Structure 1
Amino acid sequence: MAPSRLAFEDISKVFPGVKALSEVSFEVAPGEIHALLGENGAGKSTLLRILSGVFRPTQGEVKVDGTVHHFRKPESARQAGIAMIHQELQQVPHLTVAQNMFLGHSLTRLGGLIVDRREQERRAAEALAMIDPSIDPSAPISSLKVAQRQVVEIARALLDRARIVAMDEPTSSLTPSEFDRLAGIIERLAAGGVSIIYVSHKMDEVFRVCRRATVMRDGKVVRTGIDLRASAPDEVIGMMVGRELLAEAHHSHATRTVSVEVRNLSTHRIRDVSFDLHKGEVLGVAGLVGSGRTELLRAISGADRLAAGTVKVDGTTLALSNPRAAIAAGIGLLPEERKREGIIPGRSVTSNMALPSMARFSKAGIINHRKLKRTAEDLLTRVKLRPFQLDRQIKLFSGGNQQKAIIARWLAAGSRILLFDEPTRGIDVGAKSEIYRLIEDLAAGGHGVIVVSSELPEVLRVSDRVLVMRDGAVAAELGRDQMSEETIVSHAVGTTASRIGTA
């Protein structure tokens, strides 16, 4: 019998005080698209870091085409035909596409004295031609869209003649149409014999592109060789979280009292937007990427300068010259780019929680640590932070728990209006359910909540009402009884639902 393309055999990894992986074993066949599933903290990233040579296993072996490999560094894994495509792309913005593709192993001439840029661009163009010939290898990588930058990473894997490509959340920043294109590229790679390990929290994507799956939980393999064509998503999710996630009905807590009045709001990216937000209401904002969803939240939060229009909170017109004015008025923004704009990675979760309200915990410049600790314990218990380690650096927490800490931040600041931009991006299915519950709890407590999301099932799950944006303006306002994926999409693209269904 022919050997598998990739085999993990009894892989364990122990860090000081933590056993991250325990006897992990599974195989991936040549040309297979294999899903690696599990909640954040299940051990998936640790396993992929072992595969890519970043970590060395405490015990166990990695086999490629039947040969045992002991990768001591990423270059060793690359030479063995392994490529890793990270959720956060490992690219240097000011370098060209070709330079990024040859990063770490540049082509040279004259005895290594001069980088042969022309040859690099020629070979890069050859690799790109297989999947997207429209990308210019001489263009700065920063000029490309996220989807194109993903393609560059895949082309780099082809350039290295990779036999195994591991993709960690490759679609977290992609639109549905961009995912469709990526799915086609992945399927062509697999048809050419490349084995793909596909990590994603988006189960619809997993079931579309993958045939088999391995599920991990708490550093162990729960089950491997799962035939996804013969399995239901709920069954697989149950394996991942170790419990059944019950589908929860939507409960509205909206009142008649208007909390926020937005009138004729315009910035450089949005135009003439008007709406009301009621106390206890969850208002969804949907639309295509570039429709102005994020820019609307940035305008309300004072992050972007207004060109025209007004924002009133409880009847008072705000002077939104900066985010401090919005925070003082009780508005809190949970940004889309959580790791870049929402947290200070090297600071503790308590410190991150207290960022906008430190004056509340200090007097004459001296911090009252007892009061700060007491508030942190209360609020972080309320949002169910896990693990409950308040002095731990926030970068060491999962995305879901980082989001919980940011929610606690705005509760500590006394915010009554919360703006969620892509609240569950990069968050696993179990944590998603918890975030939805927190949003509903906030509404039940009288907060006004606005949720921007690219995931239509999420919009439908949490929203009492939906604004659909197109080209920087509100294209439609839909009540609960009018909301459906087809209706939202039809307004977002400016066509009818029937035409979409036949496109």
Structure 2
Amino acid sequence: MASSRLAFENISKQFPGVKALSEVSFDVAPGEIHALLGENGAGKSTLLRILSGVFRPTEGEVKVDGTAHHFRKPESARQAGIAMIHQELQQVPHLTVAQNMFLGHSLTRFGGVIVNRREQERRAAEALATIDPSINPGAPISSLKVAQRQVVEIARALLDRAKIIAMDEPTSSLTPSEFDRLAKIIEALAAGGVSIIYVSHKMDEVFRVCQRATVMRDGKVVGAGIDLENTASEAIIAMMVGRQLTADEHHSHATDSVSVEVRNLCTHRIRDVSFDLRNGEVLGVAGLVGSGRTELLRALAGADRVTSGIVTIDGTALALSGPRAAIAAGIGLLPEERKREGIIPGRSVVSNMALPSMSRFAKAGIINQSELRRCAEDLLKRVNLKPFQLDRQINLFSGGNQQKAIIARWLAAGSRILLFDEPTRGIDVGAKSEIYHLIEGLAAEGHSVIVVSSELPEVMRVSDRVLVMRNGAIAAELRRDEFNEETIVSHAVGTADSRGAGDQQEQPHV
């Protein structure tokens, strides 16, 4: 279209044995916030890599302001006014904010011999002043919170005079208040004429900030330029997954028998935490970022040192001396930082699945490969791994399928107590539904499950009870008939009358 800022015209991309994209066409107007939606594996990332010059299309062309471009490298896309903000920020931790903003094209003096740091910091400060002047361009990037580091990437795009910014899952690690701040920045950029491509699995965010959407499935566009103001989220989701997702009812499988007793548990981040967990129960843990949710699971998994308190499993006190002791006691953790703490990226899905239980498949130091493969096939079929390629590197699977492989890991290890920390972060709506069914199925088999999630609808969907944490302590315990978002939030921020020592503490930073 002549009026479009960006147009994809019949873009196809062929890899050996796989057609990743097939005749993808849609346009983005100047100053538009355009959602690019689809399940993991739909082709969104491949398309954005073509836009940013990482891949070249097999067929078709990208047009910017009506001019066709054939980007041979990322620098070519940058010069055409295109910026890419990745889900996993492309920053060097030990460099300053300004140095990261000029990464790859430093300002120099004396014939290019010396980097002009003062001028870099001055220009970086000018770019940051328009969106967040509180960020010090001379500070190490590692000293910033994730939300501030996102802002630095946006400022870097402004520094390059970008007129098209693609954002890939920009809020996967942000709190609701941080998203509100980012949304205002995005809306201000659009008001200034910058076109935004916004990739997210969070439908509430998409409908908050985007005007139109393009939906992809299996490398093809199944809906282009959809007017979000006049379209229901259920219709978008059905387009993404190719079927209607119905709202599932929660089914409790909790028994009266207690599997885990926690009494006065303390670490450097949690204090006097006490609760019981029953066989077949799904116990949710809610609270603000920094409230101690993750630290509680890490303490139970032996990853953080316990300074005092008692954890009893089936009546036997557990010495939480480290992860090995927790694994031996039947505890398995799906960590919050899946890519950093949950997998070994370059190894196969089978190898990752067997990590804590390799001794089960080895005799005299020799692994029984046939027995390992038999077990892997059974468990990975059970969790519905897609694609079912056991020798494929785990980092080549979608986030949802990586989570399935980690669940299979703990089933292989015989874990009865499963700790899920943000189990659906960064995964699509279809995979979320599968994870919810897996959690419920595990509870039905008698496993005891604790689920930590920043998404309140998720906590309420899967849980039999919810513990609300504040300042490292339990602020409230809610039965299912007491669940609602307002109640949980009021306990999390300390505006409700709630039990526990957390009532007298200062509220954490949101």
Same fold (TM over 0.5): yes
Equivalents in 2 of 1:65, 1:408: separation in Å?
Answer: 49
SS of residue in 2 equivalent to 1:431:
helix
1:442 and 2:442 are equivalent in the alignment: yes
Q: Which residue number in structure 2 is paired with residue 200 of structure 1?
A: 200
The residue type equivalent to 1:302 in the other structure is G
The residue type equivalent to 1:282 in the other structure is V
Equivalents in 2 of 1:204, 1:9: separation in Å?
Answer: 29
1:354 and 2:354 are equivalent in the alignment: yes
Equivalents in 1 of 2:225, 2:26: separation in Å?
Answer: 8
- The 5-angstrom pairing of residues 82-481 of structure 1 reads 82-481=82-481
The residue type equivalent to 1:418 in the other structure is L
Consecutive unaligned residues of structure 1, counting only runs of 5 or more, are: 498-503
SS of residue in 2 equivalent to 1:133:
coil
Equivalents in 2 of 1:445, 1:133: separation in Å?
Answer: 53
Equivalents in 2 of 1:387, 1:360: separation in Å?
Answer: 26
Equivalents in 2 of 1:55, 1:471: separation in Å?
Answer: 46
The residue type equivalent to 1:139 in the other structure is A
Q: Which residue number in structure 2 is paired with residue 4 of structure 1?
A: 4
Equivalents in 2 of 1:2, 1:247: separation in Å?
Answer: 42
TM-score by length of 2: 0.97
Deviations 1:371-426 (A, max 9, x none): 00100000000000000000100000000000000000000000000000000000
Equivalents in 2 of 1:327, 1:464: separation in Å?
Answer: 25
Equivalents in 1 of 2:443, 2:232: separation in Å?
Answer: 32
Equivalents in 1 of 2:364, 2:113: separation in Å?
Answer: 60
How many aligned residue pairs are there?
Answer: 497
TM-score by length of 1: 0.98
Equivalents in 1 of 2:165, 2:71: separation in Å?
Answer: 16
SS of residue in 2 equivalent to 1:426:
coil
SS of residue in 2 equivalent to 1:165:
strand
The residue type equivalent to 2:164 in the other structure is I
Equivalents in 2 of 1:255, 1:20: separation in Å?
Answer: 47
SS of residue in 1 equivalent to 2:148:
helix
Deviations 1:340-370 (A, max 9, x none): 0000000000000000000000100011111
Q: Which residue number in structure 1 is paired with residue 504 of structure 2?
A: none
The residue type equivalent to 2:109 in the other structure is R
Consecutive unaligned residues of structure 2, counting only runs of 5 or more, are: 498-510
Deviations 1:456-494 (A, max 9, x none): 000010000000000000000000011110000000000
Deviations 1:129-164 (A, max 9, x none): 000000000000000000000000000000000000
Equivalents in 2 of 1:251, 1:52: separation in Å?
Answer: 45
Deviations 1:428-468 (A, max 9, x none): 00000000000000000000000000000000100000000
SS of residue in 2 equivalent to 1:124:
helix
Equivalents in 1 of 2:107, 2:496: separation in Å?
Answer: 52
The residue type equivalent to 1:74 in the other structure is P
1:48 and 2:48 are equivalent in the alignment: yes
The residue type equivalent to 1:216 in the other structure is M
Q: Which residue number in structure 1 is paired with residue 61 of structure 2?
A: 61
4+ runs of 1 displaced by more than 2 Å? none
Deviation of residue 3 (structure 1)? 2.9
Deviation of residue 496 (structure 1)? 4.0
The residue type equivalent to 2:161 in the other structure is R
Deviation of residue 2 (structure 1)? 4.4
The residue type equivalent to 2:192 in the other structure is G
Equivalents in 2 of 1:89, 1:155: separation in Å?
Answer: 13
SS of residue in 1 equivalent to 2:259:
strand
Equivalents in 2 of 1:2, 1:358: separation in Å?
Answer: 60
Equivalents in 1 of 2:314, 2:119: separation in Å?
Answer: 63
